[in-house]
Amino acid sequence: MSREARTAPRTAIATVCLSGALEDKLPAAAAAGFDGVEIFEPDLVASPMPPGEVRLRCADLGLSIDLYQPFRDLDSVDPERFAASLRRAEHKFGVMEALGTDTVLVCSSVAPDAVADVDLLAEQLHALAERAAARGLRIAYEALAWGRHVNTYDRSWEAVRRADHPALGLCLDSFHILSRGSDPAAIADIPGAKLFILQLADAPHLAMDVLQWSRHHRLFPGQGAFDLPAFLEPVLRAGYAGPLSLEVFNDVFRQADPARAAVDAHRSLLALAEATAARGDAAAPVGDPVAEPAPELRGHAFVELSADGSLAPVLAALGFARTGLHRTKPVERWEQGGARILVNRSGGPVAVAALAVESADPPAAARRATRLSAPRLPRERGPAEADLAAVTAPDDTAVFFCRTGAETDWTGDFVPTGETAAGIGVTGIDHVGLAQPFDHFDEAALFYRTVLGLEPAATGEFAAPFGLVRSRAVADAQRRVRLALTVSLLRRGEWAPGVSEPQYVALAVDDVLAAARAARAAGAPLLAIPDNYYADLDARLALSKERLAAYRDLGVLHEETAEGVYLQVCTEVLGGRVFLALVQRVGDHDGYGWTDAPVRMAAHRRRRLARERVRA
């Protein structure tokens, strides 16, 4: 089947994924573009709407109810307890009929009296399926990763196969399968008619109890470390024809705006379908609902900083020239080498206001962003100004799609000043660092990956002076566009004058020592690094005395790996949040200086305290 002929899969989301009550969750799912929902029983129990009203509400919203879940601890070696489970099931069947759904999720038992003998388990599943079939309903049996006797999909399939009932099939959950390290390849051999429902979740790799991992750390596809395209492919090859459904338990998502989380969730399924289709297996006919792949990125077109008058002297000291003034807006264009920084002087604190990427096809990039539910940025534009497509990222940063050098590009919006500068060796923008609000970190990573077509480049955590910081970098394959995202975990209180959600622009240079010397001579406020750092650096790397002295004199931070070296010199924080960095990569170093981030953050705080004491 050709890529063009493939139809987009249906999408669904379990109500447990979203915050709020059922009356909040259903409209959020519908507005985000989902076709259906799984009704999580505790959501229904807590709702004032009776099941029949929930059915009508979903119908009004255009949502199917694809599953009612969960039914726990069915099987038992105690006949009386099993009989009680069947009575309980009959009640749930009545709820399902009122909801208008025909499938219930039955989890493998975790109870002490769970059935270990697979033949007895099959017998009990068959008995339940008989009762379901009499009412036109189906049973989807799922192996919990922590099930007492059934905790792998092959074990659950063996029980379903032996039960041999048309109303009994499987629920496959990516978390339960991948968290145990099971190979999903054999799923392709299970008859598609026996795959009743598919639940999808991503997760980071964590060394912890699998139940706690599941209950608190699941993520939407593309936000974690699981290879979900490789999981989905054999499921589709088996002939699964149901919805791609999400079941994600996550502490952050359970407190987030349900409308926003639902959009993020739906975007994750579109990207997963695209990634699976890109694997090129004609036997696994998943559609590509995004339709247009991300156009090639060719670099950073510019970074726009909102700023007061304090930023201009720093840019000048770093070798930039003010080469243009916007025709209608209080925006200046500063350039050096291939680096362009726009300074917006319309007011507000110093901050990264916008990113612009060089795109091979800006209109196609904009269409893709719209298909992925990226909010379009409304812009006031003069009659002769370039019509730049722009969207808003989760942290409210504007993202522009440009093609500098085209017949009518954005540079024509600026009147040339004729100013030039000698420069200090800046060749371009290496990357941009953006701290994210805690609630939006995973959303931002998925946004930049899917909308811009970037891929994970690095992840890490480091102990900063005021708490743990999680980091994640995304980049294109050629490393022409790089973004470094960070988030402070469990940030509480304001006892110390730390830098709130710091941002930075890393400027690429070929010789960081020469660039730093020139910048300092021109008056750039370079950040001083304590001697203890260089004593430790000397102990670890045995650098020459001359190089170590130069590092100490200029405040150079040196990160070294087997692949190469990352050197950086930072300015002080400008306006309370933003700093600039001169960055040199040696060899094939592909990192972002996170090893030295705690040293840099402490130095920034120390300098900020000193300035406050002077002002006092």
Q: Of 112, 132, 223, which Cα lies nearest the Cα of 445?
A: 223
Q: Where are the beta strands (DSSP E) in 525-606?
A: 557-560, 564-570, 578-587
Q: Of 371, 61, 368, 10, which Cα lies nearest the Cα of 53?
A: 61
Q: Which two tokens stand for residue 287?
A: 């559609």
Q: Which two tokens stand for residue 403?
A: 């093609």
Sheet hosting strand 557-560, strand order edge to edge: 455-464, 467-475, 482-488, 426-435, 503-509, 578-587, 564-570, 557-560
Q: Distance (Å, rounded) from C-alpha 596 to C-alpha 77?
A: 58
Domains of the chain by residue range: 11-277, 297-615
Q: Which two tokens stand for residue 306?
A: 């909102």
Sheet hosting strand 414-416, strand order edge to edge: 389-392, 398-402, 351-359, 297-306, 339-344, 331-336, 321-326, 414-416
Count of positions (residues) in the chain: 616
Burial of 490 per CB tally in 10 Å (0-12, 13-18, 19+)? exposed
Q: How many CB atoms lie within 10 A of CB 375?
A: 14
Residue 284 has pLDDT above 50, yes or no: yes
Q: Distance (Å, rounded) from C-alpha 10 to C-alpha 555?
A: 55
Which positions ≥6 away from 105 have C-beta within 8 Å?
38, 67, 68, 69, 70, 71, 140, 142, 171, 197
Q: How many CB atoms lie within 10 A of CB 587?
A: 12
The residue with greater pLDDT, 503 or 491, is 503
Transcribe 459-478 into DSSP letters: EEEEEETTEEEEEEEEE-TT
Residue 474 pairs in a beta bridge with 456, 483
Residue 532 has pLDDT above 80, yes or no: yes
Q: Distance (Å, rounded) from C-alpha 40 to C-alpha 20?
A: 13
Listed range (251-265, 315-329, 424-438, 515-529) with the worst mean pLDDT:
251-265
3 — pLDDT class (breaks 50, 70, 90): very low
Q: Where are the beta strands (DSSP E) in 380-511?
A: 389-392, 398-402, 414-416, 426-435, 455-464, 467-475, 482-488, 503-509
Question: What amino acid occupies position 9?
Answer: P
Q: Distance (Å, rounded) from C-alpha 167 to C-alpha 33?
A: 30
Residue 501 has pLDDT above 50, yes or no: yes
Question: What amino acid occupies position 569?
Answer: V
pLDDT digits (tens, 9 = 90+) for 452-462: 999 999 888 88
Residue 376 has pLDDT above 90, yes or no: no
7 — pLDDT class (breaks 50, 70, 90): low
Q: What is the mean pLDDT of residues 259-268?
A: 94
Q: Distance (Å, rounded) from C-alpha 454 to C-alpha 355?
A: 14
Q: Of 282, 178, 267, which Cα lies nearest the Cα of 230?
A: 178
Q: Report the mean per-residue pLDDT for the chain.
A: 91
CA-CA distances (angstroms) from residue 319 to 9, 248, 339, 401? 53, 49, 11, 26
346 — pLDDT class (breaks 50, 70, 90): confident
Q: What is the mean pLDDT of residues 7-27?
A: 92
Q: Distance (Å, rounded) from C-alpha 596 to C-alpha 464?
A: 10
309 — pLDDT class (breaks 50, 70, 90): confident
Evaluate whether 26 touches 35 at the Cβ level (below 8 Å): no
Q: How many CB atoms lie within 10 A of CB 221?
A: 28
Own/partner contacts of 468-473, CB < 8 Å, gap of 24 or more, are 469/597, 470/441, 471/592, 471/594, 471/597, 472/441, 472/445, 473/431, 473/592
Q: Which two tokens stand for residue 22?
A: 């059922």
For helices 51-61 and 22-32, give the axis angle rounded to 10 degrees. 20
State how beta strands 503-509 and 426-435 pair.
antiparallel
Residue 1 has pLDDT above 50, yes or no: no
Q: Which two tokens stand for residue 74?
A: 């069915």
Own/partner contacts of 56-60, CB < 8 Å, gap of 24 or more, are 57/23, 57/26, 58/26, 58/100, 59/100
Q: Where are the alpha helices (DSSP H) in 420-572?
A: 441-452, 512-521, 531-541, 545-554
What's residue 499's pLDDT? 55
Give the homologous superfamily in CATH for domain 11-277: Divalent-metal-dependent TIM barrel enzymes (3.20.20.150)
Q: Of 164, 159, 172, which Cα lies nearest the Cα of 67?
A: 172
What's residue 613's pLDDT? 65
Evaluate whether 192 touches 218 at the Cβ level (below 8 Å): no
What's residue 347's pLDDT? 78
pLDDT digits (tens, 9 = 90+) for 196-237: 999 999 988 888 888 888 887 889 999 988 999 999 999 999
Q: Is 3.10.180.10 the CATH classification of the domain at 297-615? A: yes
Residue 509 pairs in a beta bridge with 426
What's residue 35's pLDDT? 97
Residue 53 has pLDDT above 70, yes or no: yes
pLDDT digits (tens, 9 = 90+) for 558-604: 999 999 999 999 999 998 789 999 999 999 999 999 999 999 999 99
